[in-house]
A and B are shown apart, each in its own frame.
Chain A
Amino acid sequence: EAGVVQSPRYKIIEKKQPVAFWCNPISGHNTLYWYRQNLGQGPELLIRYENEEAVDDSQLPKDRFSAERLKGVDSTLKIQPAELGDSAVYLCASSWAINSYEQYFGPGTRLTVT
């Protein structure tokens, strides 16, 4: 069974440019999470989806970040415009159900903003 797939693995952009990350969760997982991991820190939740509904986006900087999961399967996280402080690893995770405590993580996307 395939794990959580993310692309791209690496992205380098100049500040003020837009960027998008894609995540395909494990088949059948209805809950999807986007985390941001700053250098030397643990991941922090940005947004959580249950199917296509964003049930927790309280930590998402909504002035520049947006996310979607239109069909309740794969998801896209976008930043526009990017700032230097957005340099981080963006991790996607999925789980079987909203009350599952085993989240399976993808390999992440390392974003560098210059």
Chain B
Amino acid sequence: AQTVTQSQPEMSVQEAETVTLSCTYDTSESDYYLFWYKQPPSRQMILVIRQEAYKQQNATENRFSVNFQKAAKSFSLKISDSQLGDAAMYFCAYISNFGNEKLTFGTGTRLTIIP
């Protein structure tokens, strides 16, 4: 079974600084997708960024980028120029590309932005 581990329950960063959230996963499959979701207090899960395992290039979305290390099964999220609106729970998630559309989530990292 696939597992996703987020070892940082909480992180904080000064506004305008850069922060990196860690995620590791375990799978025996070679074809899959990885995601970072943001969940603000409103509870709505918002997709931040997606990475296809077959792509070597790290995904980037504006201030958000990932460091995908397939061999190490590591998938970290870097937030640059942190803004107050970035404060939320961040969840790393995995989904197989072999017919199982169940997202497997980590336990989340609570990110606090310090003004």
- A residues bordering B, Cβ < 8 Å? 31, 33, 35, 40-45, 48, 56, 89, 91, 93, 95, 98-108, 110
Contact = CB atoms under 8 A, between A and B. Distances in A.
Given A99-B101, A110-B43, 8 more contacts: A40-B107, A42-B91, A42-B106, A42-B107, A43-B103, A56-B101, A102-B47, A105-B44
A43 B105 contact: yes
Nearest to B52: A101
Interface residues of B, number: 23
A98 B100 CA distance: 9
B45 interface: yes
A41 B6 CA distance: 11
B3 to A, nearest CB: 11
B47 A48 contact: no
Nearest to A99: B101
Contact of A44 (B42, B45, B95, B105): B105
B47 A45 contact: no
Given A107-B42, A107-B44, A101 B107 contact: no
